[in-house]
């Protein structure tokens, strides 16, 4: 890992050429300290650091987040819309900047660096939020916030990296094409592949009824885990790598499954109740109608998550690389255990096999009925 002096050098250089809104011109004693890695994810890493400097004799300090991005764009994020920028760091930076400008609750962004020369990766620098412990009460706020996002006029935000789909059916077809391609290009255990192929056929039969009457800005991976409540009691939305112009039903369908899995596993009914509560609160506040397409995007949401998880489970070394030794053990054990033995209490540590078990149950209960 690089040290704080590299970030400090970058900030000095960016400040000198007026490429950074964070440090005013003429500032002195620019210093970076307390560099800490917070987390490592599939496509990015998060670091925090403290920036201090003096301006006109006054000392100033900022707690900041530095987010690095993998430059490889897999078929998962590939787009076919002419003129669209597929670089996730550019999309996230532009969206955060635009949303902050109109008062939507997101972290404030200061810089987007696409040149890998400095850290080896592109990166974005943004404010570090100070969260408080969330509770079940935050679920309604999360739903209302999502509806507020979807109620925004996406065209007025003028996000240059995003392009509207050409017609009202193309977004649904884009996702069907993307999932079909991902399934063809990845390896999966036979029992799972059968259900994946069945689900793809179900989507093919239902895609014609999933046209979107009004596209909007969508988060792409929305759920309560991608929100936080700050110390001034504001719910802010984070992790915008999957941002897109698309169908609002996608965000709701995606969140539905994650909420069911996130809530108390000791009370099996709590996940269903929480997910339905989220949808109910969302629909009260959204100025549109997602119901005709919601079941379609529930299937899209859980299939997308599970396909990716299944591809890691099929490759234990990849599971270890991404999630550590526990994921390696689960990946090795998975093909030798009947699914009903692979219970959530054992697998919930990394969520991998929980998604696979949940997907199998979802297909049997909702699609094969």
Distance CA 80, CA 144 (A): 31
Q: Are 5 and 30 in contact (CB under 8 A)?
A: no
Does residue 39 sit in helix, strand or coil? strand
Q: Burial letters for 74-94: b for 16+ Cβ neighbours within 10 Å, e otherwise?
A: eeebebeeeeeeebbbbbbbb
Give the closest residue to 248 by CA, choosing from 281, 273, 282.
282
| Three-class DSSP category at 237 | strand
Q: What's the pLDDT score for residue 22?
A: 83
Query: What is the pLDDT confidence band of residue 261, given thresholds at 50, 70 and 90?
Result: confident
Going along the chain from its start, the domains and CATH numbers come out as 4-127 (3.30.200.20), 138-367 (3.90.1200.10)
pLDDT at residue 130 is higher than 90: no
- Note the Cα 336 to chain centre separation in Å: 32
Q: Tell me how crowded residue 254 is: count the other CB atoms within 10 A of its CB.
A: 24
pLDDT digits (tens, 9 = 90+) for 179-236: 999 999 999 988 899 999 999 999 999 999 999 999 999 999 999 889 999 888 889 9
Q: pLDDT tens, 287-318?
A: 999 999 999 999 999 999 999 888 888 877 77
| 267-293 pLDDT tens trace | 656 888 999 999 999 999 999 999 999
Q: In this structure, are residues 209 and 296 in contact, taking their beta carbons and an 8 Å threshold?
A: yes
């Amino acid at each position: 890992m690089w040290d704080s002096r590299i970030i400090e050098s970058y900030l000095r250089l960016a400040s000198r050429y007026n490429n950074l809104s964070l440090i005013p011109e003429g500032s002195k004693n620019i210093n970076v300290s307390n560099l800490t890695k917070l987390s490592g994810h599939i496509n990015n890493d998060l670091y925090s650091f403290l920036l201090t400097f003096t301006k006109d004799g006054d000392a100033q300090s900022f707690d900041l987040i530095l987010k690095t991005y993998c430059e490889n764009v897999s078929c998962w994020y590939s787009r076919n819309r002419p003129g669209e920028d597929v670089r996730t760091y550019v999309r996230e930076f532009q969206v955060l900047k635009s949303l902050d400008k109109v008062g939507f609750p997101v972290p404030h962004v200061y810089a987007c660096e696409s040149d890998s020369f400095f850290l080896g990766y592109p990166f974005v620098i943004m404010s570090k939020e100070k969260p408080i412990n969330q509770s079940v009460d935050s679920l309604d706020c999360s739903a209302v916030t999502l509806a507020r996002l979807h109620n925004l006029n996406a065209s007025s935000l003028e996000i240059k990296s995003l392009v509207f789909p050409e017609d009202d059916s193309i977004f649904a077809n884009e996702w069907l094409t993307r999932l079909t391609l991902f399934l063809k290009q990845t390896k999966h255990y036979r029992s799972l592949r059968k259900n994946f192929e069945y689900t793809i056929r179900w989507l093919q039969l239902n895609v014609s009824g999933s046209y979107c009457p009004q596209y909007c800005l969508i988060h792409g991976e929305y759920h309560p885990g991608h929100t936080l409540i700050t110390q001034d009691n504001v719910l802010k939305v984070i992790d915008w790598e999957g941002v897109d112009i698309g169908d609002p039903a996608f965000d709701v369908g995606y969140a539905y499954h994650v909420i069911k899995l996130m809530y108390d596993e000791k009370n099996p009914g709590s996940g269903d109740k929480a997910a339905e509560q989220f949808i109910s609160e969302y629909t009260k506040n959204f100025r549109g109608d997602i119901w005709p397409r919601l079941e379609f995007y529930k299937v899209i949401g859980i299939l997308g998550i599970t396909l990716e998880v299944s591809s890691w489970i099929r490759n234990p070394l990849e599971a270890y690389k991404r999630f550590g030794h526990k994921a390696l053990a689960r990946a090795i054990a998975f093909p030798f255990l009947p699914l009903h033995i692979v219970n959530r209490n054992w697998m919930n540590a990394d969520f991998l096999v929980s998604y696979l078990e949940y997907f199998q149950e979802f297909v049997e209960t909702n699609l094969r009925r």
